[in-house]
Structure formats: C-alpha cells, structure tokens
Structure 1
C-alpha cells in the first residue's frame, strides 16, 4: 500500500472495505509501530463492524502516541469531516508536516491544522475508545529550544556534539531525505528517553515506510 493510497483512505475513510482490510492488516504486521497503519486498520474494522475490533483496539492503542487522535479519527465520518473541514486536519494528525511525502515521490497535500472546532457527539461504540483516554500516559516533550537556529544545527553537526541530537534535527533530516541519519538520531533519542521509546519506534517505522514507497 502506497502513501497515496493511505492519503486517499484518510481523506475518505468510508472507502475502507473488505478489500482494504487485509492490506492494512499486513501493513500493521510489517510495521507494528506505524501509527497511520494502525489507525486506518482500526477504522476499517470499525466500518465493517468486525468482531475483532475490540481486541485489535487494545492491541493498536498501545502503539499510538496520542490516543485522542485515534478517538477523533475513529468517530469521524465522511459527512462530518466535510461539514467541519477536518479531513486535512486528520491527515496532519497521522502524518505531521515534518514528514514530506513529496520528497519520497508520493505527492500529497495537507492544510494547516484546525483547532477548537466543535465536533459531532460520538456515536455508538465511542465509550470503548474513551477507556484509553483515561489511561493515556504522559510523555515528556523535548524542548524545541534545544534545536536552535539552522546555523546552530550546522555548527553542532560540525563540532560532533552528540548532546545536540534532538527530535527536531531528526525531522529535518527526514524532510531532506536523509532517512538513515534520521533513523539513527531517533534510535539515540530512544536510548536517551526510554519512557518515549514506543513513540520514537513509531517515528522510525514511518521513515522506513516512506523509504520503501
């Protein structure tokens, strides 16, 4: 499944059907830390009222950094997304702006994130998902000031300052197509911040997926 196909399903999750389900299941098996794959897979199961949805929800939720995004995506419909303009918002939830799909040959567009918009009351089945919101772990954020200005980043690279390895720098590498360097930084960050290892593993899986598509 290509990034373009993922974009299509995010834009119109109502298209997720029996044919897309095995592809998404395979995607989660190949890239178990890839958040976008899990979100679409769970949405697909929910669309089909699949009996395995509840169990897979437990399996997938532990791999998703922000479960509120999962909650919104699972309860959003094509109609409500059209009315509220959330489709591009949902796309950015799953693929943050720092991951430039165009750089990998998969040209997609996304708009600025929409916030503070009133959403439709959750439909039946939302209560199950709410359980994960209460248990959502708090993860420390890396101070963006660590990244500094572009000139500081270049200087730190030249000086070989290992302490300067940051998530922002990794995202810059990923955006510029230096995928291996980005992966190496995320691996170092995972060791430095073990409490965020699941999140960094997901970022690595995203980069690997983009490298192969």
Structure 2
C-alpha cells in the first residue's frame, strides 16, 4: 500500500475493504504501535461482523495512548457504516455441510455472543468495563522441597485501596454511641439507584462476553425496570443466560 492510498483511507475510513486487510496487517506487524492502522483494521473486522473484533478492540486499546480518541472513532457514524457489498461465500462454506446447532449454541446465537460490541457516545462506562484487566490470581511460590515460601497477593489497586480504608478504620477504633430511646428519629428510605443510569444493553452484552452471567442478569433486570415496554424481551434474555449458567 502506498502513502497516498493510506492517507485516503485515513480521510475516508468508510472506503477500507477486505482486500486491504493483508496490507494493513503487514503495517501493524512492522509497526505495532501504529494506532491509525489498528483503527482501520478494527473497521474491517466490524464490517465483517467478525468474532475477532471484540478481542482486537482490547488489543487496539492497549496500543493506544489516548483511549478517548479510540472511543470517539468506534462510536462515530463513519465507523458504524457498513459497506453495501454482499459478503463473499468461501469454497469451504459451500462444500462443508452446515452443523446442526445444539441447544447451547442456539442460545449463544440468540444472545449474539461473539458478535462485535457496538458502543454509543454515552456508554463510556460500558467501554471501560470491556477493557478492564482481570485481577492477578494469588501465586504460591515453592522451594525445591515443595515447601511454600511466599504468597503473591492480589494486586488489584481498587482492592488495595479498600483494604487501606479498613485498616485505618480499625486503627482509629471509633466508638458508636448508643441511640437515645426517648428520641424519635425519622428514617428516610431512598430508592437504590446504583448502576441504574449506567445499565445499558451493551453493558449486559459486555458482561456476557466476559462470562459474568450474574452481572448480565442484574443488568437486564435493571433495564426491565427502566424500560417496561421491553420487559418481555429482557425476561427472555435472562432465561437464555440461565441456560448457559446451567450448562457451564
């Protein structure tokens, strides 16, 4: 791919095609941190509805210095536009008979698991949830005689901060005074709105891709309360997720 062709794709990414994927992949292999090339590859995978897209999004984010720029690109109108060209059927797809799907695969297809995640401009929380790294597991190191020497603790920064707060609380040893029974106090019960503004269908799909089934179910329950007109659809989604849970 020459310089002029590449600049044209940067100016009009909707023109990128499957035929150019090998050229763009070659550029990425030579320059791993070439962010615009990775963005164009994402566009190709999105157009193909490829199962590789979701994982490639994480890899691209890891090679991007400013993830807000990446987020703006994948939520732009240009990125979401799909070429009107008909998808090509490979010789392998023509020859091999279609495999009869099992119950679980039917459910996964209905839940669109493996399909590219599509974020909107107001779904930065869902986007960050998708990109979050899993916390490190505890590692027990052993000596030659198989005796444990040390244990590596979870290095999740959020967890460490919570532990520090608990430690400070224990050190100060605050005393809680007993309430005066003669004084009647009004207790205001507030509605629990935790995660309500953040719950979206995309977030539920993010949890599904991460196999956090309980979180996905909770997200759909919140959505059912937010959008009663779609409660039937969300209830069906919950039933499908429960099937996956029972077949783990």
Q: TM-score range by the shorter chain?
A: 0.3 to 0.5
| Larger Rg over CA atoms | 2
